[in-house]
Structure 1
Amino acid sequence: MKSFRTKKWLKGLMLAMLLIVGSTVFSASAKEVQAATAGFKTIDGKTYYIKSDGSKQKGWLTLGGYKYYFNTKTGVQVKGWMKVNGKYTYYFTKGKGVMATGWMTDSKGHKRYFNPKTGKLTTGWVNCSKGRKRYFTKGGGIMATGWLTNSKGQKRYFYKTSGYMATKWVKNKSKNISYYFATSTGYMYTGLKTIDQKNYYFKSNGVMAVSTSVTVNGITYSIAANGVATAKTTKPNVNVGNGNVEIYDTRNSRYYTMVKEYKSHPGIANGKTSDEALLAALCESEAGDQGKIGMEAVALCVLNRTIKSDKEFPSTIRGVIYENIGSSTTPQYSVVRNGALLKRLNGQFENRTLAYQAAREAMTIFNKHVTSGKARTLRGFKQKDFNYMYFMMTSYFWNQNLNFSKVKYETYKGHTFFVDWV
């Protein structure tokens, strides 16, 4: 009886061992099968990535130094464009679905740039080395090449190979024509412009005029073969008492009396100092401590005087700045006499870059007003059309013999600006 029980116990033990071994073998075989099926799988034309546990990869996957993306709900691999918040953001190759980085050129020759680290599509303006710029369209991120016109009708040119925005002089050698593009904005020049203290005239299509003559604001300019424009004068300047000199204003058809500094300050009488340089020197002399807007406001006051309908002031910037007051020898602006303007005409600016920027922007605002009637808006001022022609320190303003109930004025920092004496 004991022998029978012992045999039965041994059979039970052997059966248990077989079950354990079989279970272990089965478990190992299942893992081997799952491992063998892990990786990229195409099912019904859609690609998935199966993980080692048999589940589908969802979201981002980095594998072998490349990045992939799988739909967070279905696990389907994304190929082609992927939008984020409705905007094209990432691109994955149509073959293997690898996330694009760096430069990519499509079948139409359009170039795009994807951030090397994040893979995000570049749009808008990009600052490059050596102060150069590129522009990528906001919708599709295509690098701009050739001519590009913005919503305001302003034109820029981007080199077709590099995509860099054109600045300064650009010559089309095959057609022997030249253009000029603003250094900071890249806008194509049109009309009469001062560049490096010389006048040039650019046609409506931006081409520099050569070997001809043009009339701008009543003044006729003779244009040489190199494009330099020289104003024609019909009457000579006349020296008068106290060192003053009378100059003939062609546009206004009358003489104006200039103070003696008109002759002694460098580049004024002979025209070598450009309007931009003179305006930059004046606005920093008068408002260098009031920021770019304060300097722009001063510059606009000078410019506005040149178009006063009753011709009270000369039609030129230098004429306005150096005109004397009445029959005295006192200039319109004290900085003409106290040395502040001369200092800057000799190159001693506090912030040359900002002063020139203020002068350029004021001239742009003014020229648009003259050519198209656009309001002279200036940030920081309530006046919708900045038509002020006078300014002075606020403390002096309130001591003037003015009818303050009628005079239209506005104060910005240390200066008060007003339209006319009332």
Structure 2
Amino acid sequence: DPLGSGSWGGGSNAIKHSQSPRTIQADGLASGGLDDRFDFQLSSPLLDGTGGLSIIDGTYRAVGNDGNHYNIAINDGNNTYWPGDLPASNALADYLHDASDHLPVVADYRVPPILDASFDVCDLGTVIEGWQLDCSLDIANAASPVVPEGAASLQWTMSGTGVLGGNSDSGSLDAGETQMLSVSVDTTISGVVDDQLLLEASDDLTQHAPAAMSLTGHVLRHANPSFVSDADNDFYVYFIDVEPDSGDVGLGVQFWNYLWDSDQSRMDIDNITTPDPPVAFLGGSWNNVGPFPVSMPFSIDTTGLSPGTIVRSVTISVSDEDLPGEASSSLYLTFNITVLDPEPDCVGDVTGDGVTDVSDLLAFLEGFGGSDPALDLVPDGIIDINDMLVLLGDFGCGG
């Protein structure tokens, strides 16, 4: 009983009485004056309190009873049931007096809150790790009572899983109120995203609670360029020996998107700096590099090169595939070119056939002691033993 148990008689309980609003008996209606509590609304204990479905304190009443008509007719003199509106109160008392020998008992009930929650802007899709995602959540108490007191306030708490795990908050919303919250998304965690933001209400009778908002997508690691397939190496020195005037020497430089898998961005090659001669880049374009290496073609023009070492540098600029959060990085390539000394001619080849052999020895012996310049291998103007020693030292050259 909203008014509690005990005795309801006497003038001190006049505001609770519902029978009879009349002091005359006519038309089948009982008399006796307003001195009994005869009519009730009985409720379960669950309707007590401030949340869920509950009776609003102070609203349980017998219609038309102003507490000032104990044991008399409800329309005896003025009735102040509606404070400030005496004419309406008196008219109501007259109607109740003439229509019934009981007063209707009414109460105002508070309805539970209604949780309404949704992502306002939160579209992840496929992004690169570290991308700053602007994400917000709308929370509302969607209950719409006639008067604000007619709905309980919404007491909510928020928590998240996975990339949404950094969110924890709570609050209170009266009926009709809305709140927008910023939601953090941790994109440092690579992989497939299928996580939830959970909103719970402290009132078990809250409608649409708990509410779970799902966020799906895919967070990729950055592409990782490397000159070797089994380690992360951004620097490489390419050593090569060439002979001068041997034409264009072609070579290929390979590099990988190191450790690529489905959770890593593919790699685009954006720019290759132009190396100084004699090195030339032969051109090409590469995008969406995944599990297979890139082979980049270069050539060395050996025309007119002098013996020695030539060093040339190339910077290769790469980036992630075209997705939110893409970033750039570089590879640094150095060519270390050794230009070899050309092999000397066979000095003992006095016959001019390209080899130093027995025919050269015979020709030398025939001219020994003479002055033929072709046989003067030292040279000192004399064809002697010193020249023979040079020929013998070169014996077999070109063979």
Task: Return the index of the structure with the highest Cα Rg.
Answer: 2
Between 1 and 2, higher relative CO (CA 8 Å, sep ≥ 6) is seen in 2
TM-score (norm. length: structure 1): 0.23
TM-score (norm. length: structure 2): 0.23
Which structure dedicates a bigger proportion of its chain to helix?
Answer: 1
